[in-house]
Amino acid sequence: MKIEEFDTNGLIFGFDRKTCAGNWTDDEYEKALMNIMTCQNFSCFPLVNGPRIRENTNDLTTRAVYMDGGGSVTSIVRRPLKWEERELKFFLLDNVEHVDEGTNLLQAASLLLSPNEEGEYPLFITVGGAKEHPTALFSLDNLLQHRTKAELYRQLSLADYAKQDDLNMMYTQLSHDQFNESREKFSQWCKTLVTVFSAAAKKASQHRIDRVFARPSSNFDLPTFGRFLAKDIMQHACVGIRWKINSDLLEQPNENTCAKRLLMGANDFDNLAIYSAKGALLPKILTKSSKVLEIPLANSTDTLVEVINNGIQEGNEFVAVIRPDNNILTGEGAMPWPAIITKQELFSMHSLINCLVVASAIEHYLIHTVLNMTPQQAKNNTLGSIHHICNTVEGRATPSYEKIKQFIPNNRLNEFRECITLAKDLRNKLAHGLLRPSQTQQNLSDSITLKSFISVYKIRDILGMNQ
């Protein structure tokens, strides 16, 4: 099988030391890197000389797509093994192997466990794209996942290279402990495994394309339009750092402000999750301006209405944070990080289709249930008609307006009227061309506003349709 089924399937970047200039020492810069890697449980971390921005939503299944012209990877930092002396190990890109996404897993594993020309062991290789612009990493952590070891076991068995007892030992006992025990045992393990993997890779097998251990999808089911859940659109990587929340900005440790700078700047993140000193995810979010905002943590099974109610809306921006869910299995394991929903996810194609479904349900409810129109009358009425009834002098003088008022709490009548104005325009745009496949994400963002999107869900809530 191909390495693209077992690598990181995307990257989070940090600025390299030269690019991350500031009022911090080299030691504080390294502590900043440890802050980030510890919170995300990364063993290695690519460093770039300029922003490298991902275009598509990270669902831990779809291959990453990055904007053209972004910063280049200059080096990659790795956390040390127990027997290594330095706290962090840095490897220039020239000293790291690179493979394309179609490389066989056995070949990639051999390169991963081989020393570079300097005699050092990076314990990762870059995957896909160009060498200076890779799309993924394949690290020791990826190699030691059960799914990866199971595929290696399958390929070695088909190649008929290793004894069954050796294969069983490799699958059941191969772990981080073997590589951390001592320098001598580490070296011996690497040589033994490289010999086995390299020899097996040379033996062709017609079964090698079998995808039985392929990367699992994080989407268990197709979304239920009209009742969208957080897991249907969330981005599976809300990156975070440790941040002192009970201190003045001026008292924030240098390594924390450095971590914020190199992480937000390299990835163009607007918000970061916040972790406590003990590593617990907190119901707070850190903004670019270093504001700490309270934010209730949502669950992956919460409805989109609940997510919207718990998220933070500021102008035409939105953010909600979703707790990790061990029931969601991804190519990175059981959902390893909190997820995030921003305007990008709310304005994704499936989410906008769902919005149109909700708007249509509201329209049907108002016309058929509230106003009790006949089928013939209903043909000539839309949300635009409801807007006319609620927001014009002649409309508010009709019996229809009195019927509508009976279904709306008095303290929300003005809110309802405003939302109808926004929702009827959005409904028309969605129903008459905005959702055609040729539309780009930028077109969608330019054509509608967050306020108009949320107005649809507010109307449903005002009418009691969420019950």
* Token couple for 110: 């051999």
d(CA 456, CA 416) in angstroms, rounded, equals 10
Question: Are 444 and 434 a contacting pair, CB within 8 Å?
Answer: yes
Q: Is the pLDDT of residue 441 over 90?
A: no
d(CA 182, CA 185) in angstroms, rounded, equals 5
**Residue 161: what pLDDT?**
66
**Residue 289: what pLDDT?**
92
- Stretch 370-376: mean pLDDT: 92
Instruction: Note the pLDDT tens digit of each residue in 334-368.
Output: 889 999 999 989 998 889 999 999 999 999 999 99
Instruction: Note the pLDDT tens digit of each residue in 394-414.
Output: 999 999 999 999 999 999 999
Instruction: Note the pLDDT tens digit of each residue in 90-111.
Output: 999 999 999 999 999 999 999 9
Q: Which domains does the chain have, with CATH numbers?
A: 3-201 (no CATH), 230-342 (3.10.580), 349-462 (no CATH)
Q: Is the pLDDT of residue 272 over 80?
A: yes
d(CA 266, CA 270) in angstroms, rounded, equals 11
Instruction: Note the pLDDT tens digit of each residue in 53-95.
Output: 999 888 778 899 999 999 999 999 999 999 998 789 999 999 9
Nearest to 52 by CA among 66, 31, 41, 37: 66
CA distances from 443 to 234, 296, 317, 420, 437 (A): 21, 31, 16, 23, 11
CA distances from 277 to 42, 115, 242, 246 (A): 17, 35, 6, 12
Percent of the chain with pLDDT over 90: 72
Question: Are 140 and 124 a contacting pair, CB within 8 Å?
Answer: yes
Q: Beta strand pairing status for 14-15 and 44-48?
A: parallel
Question: Are 47 and 263 a contacting pair, CB within 8 Å?
Answer: no
Percent of the chain with pLDDT over 70: 94
Instruction: Note the pLDDT tens digit of each residue in 3-61.
Output: 999 999 999 999 999 999 899 999 999 999 999 999 999 999 999 999 999 998 887 78
Q: Is 256 helix (H, G, I), strand (E, B) or coil?
A: helix
* DSSP 8-class letter at 186: H
Q: Kindly tell me the burial class for residue 69, based on how many C-beta atoms sit within 10 Å of its own C-beta (0-12, 13-18, 19 or more).
A: exposed
- Stretch 237-242: mean pLDDT: 95
Q: Is the pLDDT of residue 442 over 60?
A: no
Q: Is the pLDDT of residue 423 over 70?
A: yes
Q: Which residues lie closer than 8 Å to 202 by C-beta, 6 or more apart? A: none
Q: Is the pLDDT of residue 392 over 90?
A: yes
* Token couple for 305: 């209405």
Q: Beta strand pairing status for 271-275 and 240-242?
A: parallel
**Residue 248: what pLDDT?**
56
How sure is the predictor about 302, in pLDDT bands with cuts at 50, 70 and 90?
very high
Higher-confidence residue: 242 or 171?
A: 242
Backbone dihedral angles phi then psi of residue 6, each to the nearest 5 degrees: -130, 0
Nearest to 81 by CA among 120, 108, 117: 120
**Residue 54: what pLDDT?**
94
- Stretch 444-467: mean pLDDT: 86
Q: Is the pLDDT of residue 444 over 80?
A: no
In sign, the C-alpha dihedral spanning 80, 279, 9, 217 is positive
Q: Is 89 helix (H, G, I), strand (E, B) or coil?
A: strand
In sign, the C-alpha dihedral spanning 395, 399, 402, 404 is negative
CA distances from 465 to 362, 400, 427, 455, 459 (A): 8, 20, 18, 14, 9
**Residue 1: what pLDDT?**
86
User: Mean pLDDT for the chain?
Assistant: 90
**Residue 467: what pLDDT?**
59
How sure is the predictor about 417, in pLDDT bands with cuts at 50, 70 and 90?
very high
Q: Is the pLDDT of residue 283 over 90?
A: yes
Q: Is the pLDDT of residue 181 over 60?
A: yes
* Token couple for 115: 């020393």
- The pTM (predicted TM-score) of the whole model is 0.89
Q: Which residues lie closer than 8 Å to 134 by C-beta, 6 or more apart? A: 11, 46, 73, 98, 126, 127, 128
Q: Which residues lie closer than 8 Å to 108 by C-beta, 6 or more apart? A: 3, 6, 99, 125, 127, 138
Q: Is the pLDDT of residue 165 over 90?
A: no
**Residue 25: what pLDDT?**
96
